[in-house]
Every structure is written in C-alpha cells, then in structure tokens.
Amino acid sequence: MKRILAIVAAAVLTVAGCGGGAGGGSGNRLSIATGGTTGVYYVYGGGLAKQLSSNISDTQATASVTSASVENIKLLASGKADIGFSQADTAADAVNAKDTFTAKQPIKAIARIYDNYAHVVVAPGVEAAKVADLKGKRVSLGPANSGTQVVARRILEAAGVNPDSGITKQQLSINESVQAAKDGTIDAFFWVGGLPTAGITDLATSKPDMKLLDTSDVLEKMRATYGEQYVPLDVDTSVYKLSGAIKTVGIANLLLVPDSMDEQLAYDITKTLFAKKAELTAVHPEAEKLDVKLGQQVAPVELHPGAARYYKEQA
C-alpha cells in the first residue's frame, strides 16, 4: 500500500509539473485531487477528468488519489494540483486561516456540487447506539489531512468525547477502515462522503450486521460552534442494503481551483461540468445534484472569475 501511494504521489507531482492550470506551451495538463479509491470524490473526479479531456481542446486531465479535503487544498495552494474536491467546512477554514490552516490559502471555487453525509460506522458485534457510546473504543477518524477527520473530531467533541484521549484513535483511509472493521481491529470509523460510498457498500455486503449511527443529537451543538454550514440530512440505509433510516450531519462539497488559474480555463471547466451532467451522473449518481443555482452557493469561498462569468451567462 505504501509503495502504491508513493507511486501515486509521484504521479501527482509529475502531472503538476507538466504545465498546470494556467496552461503550458504544450496545452493544459490538469491534475484533479480527489480522495480514496472507494470514495465518491475519486469516482466523480475520474468522470470529470474524462469529460474535461474530451471537451476542452488541448487538455489532458487526470484524477489522483489523495487524503481528500485538507491535502487537496494544500496541493492546490502549492501548485501541485489544478482542481480539487473539498468539503465546505475545510474550505472555509482555508480561506479564513483557521484550525489546520495557519495562513489564508490562495483558492477559489468553481461550484458547489453535492452534499456529503457523515457516516459513523460501527463494526459487527460492537455495542454503540449513539456517538457518545464510542468513548473508550477503537475508532478511526479518517486519514490525516482529510475533511473526514475535521468533521469526525467536531462530532466527537459535540458528543462530549475527546477525540485524542477519549478513544483509541486511528487515522485510516476509507479502504483501510473497511478492512479493519472486517478484521475486528477497530470498533468504529468515521467517513464523510456521498451516497453510496463503495467501501461502505462493500462492508455492508460482507457484514450486514454493521450499523450506521444517527448523529442528529450533536448537530445543534456543531451549528452553534461552527455555524450553519452543517445541515441535517436523512439517510435511507437501503442505499447500503440495510434496513431503516437515520439522520446525520451533512456538509456541502465544493470544486476548487487555484486563484491564479487562467479565467478562460476556469470558465471552460465550469461549462463542461454542467454541460456533461448526464455523463457524470452515469459515473456516479451524486452528479445528478448538479444545479446552476446551487452551484454558485460557495460562501465564504469566492467564485473564480471564470466560473462567475459562466453563471452570469446562465442567469
């Protein structure tokens, strides 16, 4: 696994060095920073890469595996990625120089694309009916530099559980968390993503006695602390072939680019995103949520001027 990640990291650096979002002499080579291979970001990003490569002249886009939101923003800011998926709360921290970010990050938004659902997955045989019950248990908060970890820590704190000392903390990717839950080496894990997330579908298929916790009891405290960026969402667990429904914490997803990106390129990316909605929906159903009016709701991140021009034309 480490060797594979090293190869992927090298690939990200290679692509980023071949022209970047502002365009090189041999055309645009775009690196799209996504997430883990069984998460929605990676699947969606792969579909987007195909559409950008096919519909923007002299452009080759590639989706890269990352730890997701926090890492993606850092890749954008350092010029090692050209497009990045991020949760809105992490992006807000980035432009306001809060928590993980010690300085304001040079990013702009292309669009709000769909909402993420906080999944709190409890392994088979583990007794836990609410988030507070995770105290003292072995819990993965998601990988370092991920938006999942940002939300996981805030959910636990709202439930009165210290995310550093109140649990036996692990920092596993979605793929690693699913395997650990199967093996019984963790009691629960957090994942923040769209519906369905392939890794959780895989776990539910092999371990149908797994559980998803309702997190609605911590929502109001999170909203009081961090604002209305956290919203209530309903999950029909039949999406994972489980029975019943739960309420959970939701957070919007944004598609981000460096603020230095060429205006015409940002316009073309935004136009392709919405024009190829049907093709992207065929790749993952969350793309069905694409909507021009919703797409502009990216505050407190600013729209890139190229994206703003596209939305103005649609008014």
| pTM metric for this prediction | 0.86
Report residue 192 as tokens.
């923040």
Mean pLDDT by 10 residues, the chain (315 residues): 41 38 62 95 98 97 97 98 97 95 97 97 97 98 94 98 98 96 98 94 96 97 90 95 95 97 98 98 97 96 98 96
Domain spanning 117-251: CATH 3.40.50.2020? no
Structure confidence at residue 220 (pLDDT):
96
Domain ranges of the chain: 2-113+253-314, 117-251
Closest CA to 172 of 199, 200, 141: 141
According to CATH, the superfamily of the domain at 2-113+253-314 is Periplasmic binding protein-like II (3.40.190.10)
Structure confidence at residue 27 (pLDDT):
81
Residue 97: strand, helix, or coil: coil
Structure confidence at residue 227 (pLDDT):
84
- Do 117-251 and 2-113+253-314 have the same topology in CATH? yes
Cβ proximity of 187 and 139 under 8 Å? yes
Structure confidence at residue 228 (pLDDT):
81
Structure confidence at residue 6 (pLDDT):
42
Burial 260-280 (b: 16+ CB within 10 A, else e): ebbeebbbbbbbbbbebbebb
- Calpha distance 237→211 (Å, rounded): 10
- Calpha distance 91→111 (Å, rounded): 12
Which H or E element spans position 138?
strand 138-140
Cβ proximity of 294 and 150 under 8 Å? no
Phi first, then psi, for residue 203 (nearest 5°) are -65, -45
Structure confidence at residue 281 (pLDDT):
98
